[in-house]
Amino acid sequence: MVPALSEYRRLQVGHAFTNPALLTQALTHRSAGSPHNERLEFLGDALVNLIAAEALYQHWPQADEGALTRARAELVRESALAAIARTLDLGAHLVLGPGEMKTGGHRRDSILADALEAVVAAIYLDAGFDACKAAVLPWFAPLIAALPPPGKVGKDAKTRLQEWLQARQHPLPVYTLLQESGEDHARLFRVRCTLTAPALQTEGEGTSRRAAEQQAAQAALDRIAPHA
């Protein structure tokens, strides 16, 4: 069932639609029938990339093309867009077919990210690029502010920790699996990261060993090099 227009009015996306049908289409998944949001998603993808690229160009006036490209990839990746969609509560307003509703499609990263891009396109078609940028930029502002320095974007915590240690000719970290628990479909790993210089041990948890190692490495970086 398509929500009433009053429901959409409670959706705060930073833009008041002149043509609310565009927003309805943007929030309609193909499983719910036509018109759905796939064409809007196509246009929104290009708009999101442009808006993110321009914002980074202004934010980092000295960064080279490679750093800007990696940073844009961080901002527009599926999980980042889905996280923005969740802050806007898009999931609660999605129009899904019975199958997607039953399997929790309103929580799925891919559906949320696509819907966000479609909403961006809907704003653009409703009011033009300037209004679209004005609505969308605040969504990305916290992510841009949280980015590491240009040369560090795209490098995971284990890589950054290794580079920090190598630059000081310190031994590399040793990662030890401490615990593996849970059912096969919901495993939880606990890992220790041990440094000898400086002497330090940190731990991390994750749904994979790699994720736990990354968390432990980040904990070590937070202790010895919070700005690395």
Q: Is-contact 5 84, C-beta < 8 A?
A: no
Task: Quickly name the fold that domain 5-147 has.
Answer: Ribonuclease iii, N-terminal Endonuclease Domain; Chain A (1.10.1520)
Residue 12 to residue 159: CA distance in whole angstroms: 39
Q: Where are the domains of the chain?
A: 5-147, 157-224
- Threshold 0.85, pTM exceeds: no
Residue 74 to residue 56: CA distance in whole angstroms: 11
Binding residues: 41, 114, 117
Residue 110 Rama label (left phi>0; alpha psi -120 to 50; beta): alpha
For residue 83, the SS3 value is helix
Residue 96 to residue 139: CA distance in whole angstroms: 24
E strands, 47-130, in order:
none
Q: How large is the average pLDDT for residues 57-73?
A: 91
Please provide the average confidence, as pLDDT, over all residues in the chain: 89
pLDDT value of position 107: 87
- Split at pLDDT 50, 70, 90, the class of 227 is low
* Catalytic positions, written as ranges: 45, 117
Binding residues for Mg(2+): 41, 114, 117
Bond prior to 98 in cis (omega within 30° of 0): no
Structure tokens, 92: 């609660």
Highest mean pLDDT among 6-10, 24-28, 186-190: 24-28
Residue 114 to residue 31: CA distance in whole angstroms: 13
Residue 6 to residue 1: CA distance in whole angstroms: 14
Q: Is-contact 123 133, C-beta < 8 A?
A: no
For residue 6, the SS3 value is helix
Four-point Cα dihedral 19, 25, 26, 28, nearest 10: 150
Structure tokens, 228: 């690395």
Q: How large is the average pLDDT for residues 10-22?
A: 86
Task: Quickly name the fold that domain 157-224 has.
Answer: Double Stranded RNA Binding Domain (3.30.160)
5 pLDDT exceeds 80? no
Residue 192 to residue 172: CA distance in whole angstroms: 14
